[in-house]
Structures are given as C-alpha cells and as structure tokens.
Amino acid sequence: MQVVLLVIHLMIALSLIGVILLQKSEGGGMSGLTGGGTMGGFMTARGSTNLLTRVTAGLAVAFVTTSILLAILVARDLNQGSFLDQQAVPKAPETQVPAAPSVPDTK
C-alpha cells in the first residue's frame, strides 16, 4: 500500500511541476507553447489561465493529501519496529515446566 501511494505521490509531484511551468509568468514562461495567446486556438488566453489555475489547485490538494497519508503510514510502521529488528532477535523457545508427579493419598 505504501509503495503504491508513494508512486502516486511522485506522479502528482511531477504533474504539478509541469502545470506550474506551463502557466504564464511575467517573463512568458512556457505558456507560449500551448498557443493560448492566439484567437484561433483551442482556448483563449483567459480560459487556459483559469484551467491551469484549477488544475494546479487540484494537484496541490492531492499532493498534500498523499503527503499526510504517507506520514500516517510511516508513523504506523514505526510502532511495529524495523524489519531487521524483528528478524535479528529470535524468539526463545517456550519451556514447559513438568508437572509434579501426583502422589496417591495412602491414608
């Protein structure tokens, strides 16, 4: 479970980086690649800005959520100890004390 959540977390992080780089900044950024500034494109400049802002917000919420879930899983695993600690100390075999022989009452 933890590995799957970590992979999802990394995919969200990479997507978040990509979406942030696509947004228009003061210097122009990489937003010119999408053709948002032309009137004949798929979306207008304002529409692409709104879409990128919402996608960024959604990815940010997903990133924080997966971060909290990973922290909870790690904290739960810390209580159980390390895998190496569990394997290094073998359990002592249980010794059974033999029962005292019953002496018949000879009265």
pLDDT tens per residue across span 11-25: 999 999 999 998 876
pLDDT of 95 strictly over 80: no
pLDDT tens per residue across span 30-68: 555 555 454 455 666 666 678 888 999 999 999 999 999
Look at residue 10 in the predicted model and tell me its pLDDT. Answer: 97
Look at residue 100 in the predicted model and tell me its pLDDT. Answer: 74
Query: DSSP assignment of 12-38, as one string?
Result: HHHHHHHHHHHS--TT-TTGGGGTTTS
- What are the Cα distances from residue 38, in Å, to 5, 21, 26, 55? 40, 19, 18, 21
pLDDT of 97 strictly over 80: no
pLDDT tens per residue across span 1-13: 889 999 999 999 9
Look at residue 99 in the predicted model and tell me its pLDDT. Answer: 73
Look at residue 18 in the predicted model and tell me its pLDDT. Answer: 95
Residue 29 or 15, more confident: 15
pLDDT of 94 strictly over 80: no
